Structure 1
Amino acid sequence: MPDAATLASLGGAALGSLWLPVAAWTVLALIIEGALRLTRAEAAVGLPVRGAALAALPVALAVPAALGAWAPNVPVALAAFAPPAVTWLPEVVVGGGAAAPALVAPPAGLIALGVLTALALAASVVALVRVAGGALRLARVRRALPPAPPAVAAALDAARQRAGVGRPVAAVEAPPGAAPFTVGWRRPVVAVPADLGGAALDVALAHELAHVRRADFAWHAAQRAVAAAFVWHPLAQALGRGLDLDRERAADAAVLAACPGRRRTYADLLLRYASLPAPPLALGAGRGDSSLKTRIDAMTCTLSPDRARRLARRGRLAGLLTLVLAGGLAAMTAPHPAPPDPAGDRALAPPDTTDEVYEVADVQPQLIGGLEGLQERLDYPELQHQAGVEGTAVLQFIVSKEGAVTDLQLLRSTGNDGLDQAAAEAVREARFEPGMQDGQPVRVRFAVPVTFQLEGGAATPPVPEAGADGVYNVAEVQPELVGGLEALQERVVYPEDARAEGVEGQVVVQFVVTEAGGVADPAVLRSPDDRLSAAALDAVRGLRFEPGRQGGEAVPVRFAVPITFRLPAGEDQGMAPGEVRYWGVDVSRLSGGAEIERRIRSLPSTLAQENAAGGTAEVRYTIGADGVPYDIDVVSGGGPLLDAALAIVRAPAFHTAEGARPGLGGTWTGTFGLNYQRPG
């Protein structure tokens, strides 16, 4: 079962990307469905308009995703619905014994939205699996049906020519007890009951050929897929039922136009097959008896061909307008770029708007005087103390380049202004040694919980405790990186394709330092590019630490490090025609690095001789404890360039030298890739 934070994260992400567009679509679809029912619209209008309304639902979801791709800053706005990622100081307790660390609980609304999103996604998966199963069963039924008698096949061919259907249509015999139905789009098949003949056969074939002419089977399959994907939305199901009826009404009108003197015969046919089944996803003539009265009523007032064509044109125009309106509403509801401004936050210190704010810096700010100094500045207000008022205030702030507290905000109140003000005054006076990034002071975001409680007398510094997952955010003795930052820097390999494109920036990686000093559960908190993320994760996975300790015992501690990818000033990022570059592994660290580099230098002439296309090829591999690559998989690319990458990885020269392998013992998984700029 996902925890509350995971559900809140899911709910926050789904709010802008799923629920707001769905809400906008719901308003539009309700108006459209209501108008169609009030006006009792003909099938020529209802079919395109309802179809466009249902298609507008995935369109409404695609618009925010497209905006996110075209405007990368748009997703930043989603941060307004979730607590910011900040570094937390241990809890400060005033007026009593140590309390359990207070964490900012995710908003209950986002947790509920996350639960709703998870249930909706699960329902969608189940419904889509059922549709896929129905498609498989239909394919088996289609293959098993015997050909229809020659007389039926001849009648179908004659009806096909009269209906103006250019594609060949096969006639098969329907299963016993089934209504006539149509299967297939590119190679349609009409299934006819063995006992059907005479005038009834003619009108049944006219009905099925009307479906074939309009490619109804393909539209019907797409409708079923959309309705399954949104099975949790009642309006999507209502539109689907309306489309089913409109599709059959349109076929009814086509039958009466083709066979004007056989209205009674056709009505008898519908009554005969109304309650008989058809295979899943097939288009059956009966389609159930619930809509039979509506269809027969519609046959009493048929439209002239000219009026039917005019209505069809208007319906298509209205359907196009529906799609445009859905896209516009989705764009209006999509999140717009804006700095997070959490509801309920109260600014308690003047903002500092200069320069970037870091969540984690190379050198984190240090609280001058430690937590004890902050504790000494905290006073339990006498009035609240005598009244027995308790509570926890959570304060977020930015440590400036000078070490001062700026942008102080109250993320969670104690519920008492006096306690909130006392906490804010103590934190505002705190001073830090500023954080450093690349040797320069930078602004870093922090947060601290301050608890006022009555029991126990004098306040004592809190004892760090593990979270629900058994991992400490802060330990009495923090983990230390073996070899310092230089050890991390030596492991970082700048991806060659990112270097060639001039991609640079900082990647912040969070992980857990285990009791043995290893790295577990690494994850990227912030990154400008997926390739830099992969390189940072590769570098972090092999780090070794002196483990963190609590009460003298080694404990798992959550840790984060920033890794900066920066290109030298003036470095040429372009690739010359005919040039080959590699990425993913530092060849100079391999035992056969010279041989690998010689191979890479010889590749341009080889690739030119083979007239290879330009592009990239990437291979993923695992190096065993003996230094030999195995489990080699193709990630991307093809042709001679991929062949060259595979040959290099499989070569004995690719074996790593002792002590130079990216991982420390055991196995190591990495990637190797080639870039090639084709001449001319």
Structure 2
Amino acid sequence: MTGLDVLMQCAWKGSVLLCAGFATNALLRRRSAALRHTVWTVCLAALLALPVAILTMPEWGVLGRRQQPAVQVVQTVPVARVTVTEMSVPVPTPVPLPALVWMAGAAAIVLWFLLGVLRTSWIVRRAAPAGDAAELSKSLGIGRRVRVLASAAAPMPMTWGLVRPVVVLPSGTEGWSAARLHAVLLHELVHVRRLDLLAQGLGQAACCLYWFHPLAWIAARQLRDEREQACDDAVLARGIPAPEYAGHLMDLVRAMAARRGAWAQAPAMAEASGLESRVRALLDSKRDRRPLNLRKAVAVGSVGAALLLPLAALSEVPQTPVAAAPRKAEVPSQAAAPVPNIPYRTFRRPKVVAMASAAEPTPPQVTRGALVGTVRDPSGAVIPGCTVVAANTEGSNQETAMTDAVGQYRFNNILAGPYSLEVHAPGFAAFKLPQVQVTAGNVALVNANLETGAVSQTLTVQGKRPATVTPSVTAPERIKVGGNVQQARLVRQVRPVYPSELQQLGVEGTVMLRAIISREGIPMSLRAVSSSVDERLVDLAMDAVRQWRYQPMLLNGEPVETVTTIDVTFTLQ
């Protein structure tokens, strides 16, 4: 059996194993994540053992396609003596092109994973000690010593090492609460107890061997998702409340997902992908969170072996028809009989040419596409409940959608063409994009970052001729807020003085000012926008506004800077 034959058999037999894995996990969707993770681990391990089993297992032949009998014409010629000499000349066999393509792809994937391993090892070697988790490890039944390290290069909490495991925490953990640090260490130590790094290595090795197979990559992704959910279930089983743990997870993803290294190969807690399903699983009180026991693990492994071995031994045996033995002419016994000059007749099998009776139908032309994206605020947090409007600038269709719980919107199956996109959310300035091209059969990705809305105040200062000043102040205009935005509020206002000499001269007008409310609630970068007002009124208005104080705008509980517009009107009755 050639290497190309082994590769072809691994391709279709591996598809059978992967389909069996997907079907089994679909049947176990209501069982614990630990059990589903074991199923995926056994499935990927079977993929790795498949080539060895194909080469070592005795073949179990089944009848395949019937071969067409060849036409054989034998003509016997009386000869005196026939001498046959065989010469074996070694002919080099070139490597088939499919095998070369597979080797190149496998080498590239191996290099990619190897770079990730080297990068993670580099982070661990340069990490500094950050505490001790001996008591927590002992409570989990971990007999090995687990070191806790901290590194500024670590993108998020992660574990590394099988013989000498370590937990690496990112920088800034000194500001974490004791409850968050306990939950993070518990999650990572569960990875160590479950030997998740070994299961991840099996998944990566399967991706290297079956890099051409999309189901192998999907299975590896499912393995990682079930691994994280199984560790989440173990953390909740230790008594940590689900809402509190989900809050820690959301904060870690928001703060550290952007720092995730593309080449990191260690199991990490705050994976951004699959976050919504993890949070839903955490808050599902009816979910099965039982850990895996030895009996279930042996049962899953036995089922995997029972499927792998017969599948590896399976081979196709073609049906060969029995051909009638050709009749031979009798050869005269004379030793020196001359060879008669008999003309040879050549028999050729007729060629059969099959022509289609009708032309194949032309596939329908694809005229629709999709438009998706994520909406975030200035801090990088997602904004649910936003209104997203996509209007076709060359047609009459207009589509409206709302962002979901993770801030994502989606327009599926919309007509291809140019669109204008608008995003509206209470408390934020509108996001407008005049031109987005949606092409047929493709998905256009447009992410929107909303800015906080501006705050405006209006102040009217009235005066009477000749010198009576009666300032009146209208209430500050309150911006509408929603979600995690709390509007800025004016807490101290100093009214400008309307000098009597300006009233006698009939000087009046509206001074429009623009400023930035700092995080401390102080107006900064104050400047006049209107240029047609008397400069003396501008100076009076600016002197008064500089003494104003605000309660700053709060975004997700943190003070942020915001733009404000102030109209100060000097008018005479």
TM class by shorter chain equals 0.3 to 0.5
Structure number having the greater strand percentage: 2
Tell me the TM-score normalised to structure 1 length: 0.40
TM-score, normalised with respect to structure 2: 0.47
Q: Please say which structure displays the higher CA radius of gyration.
A: 2
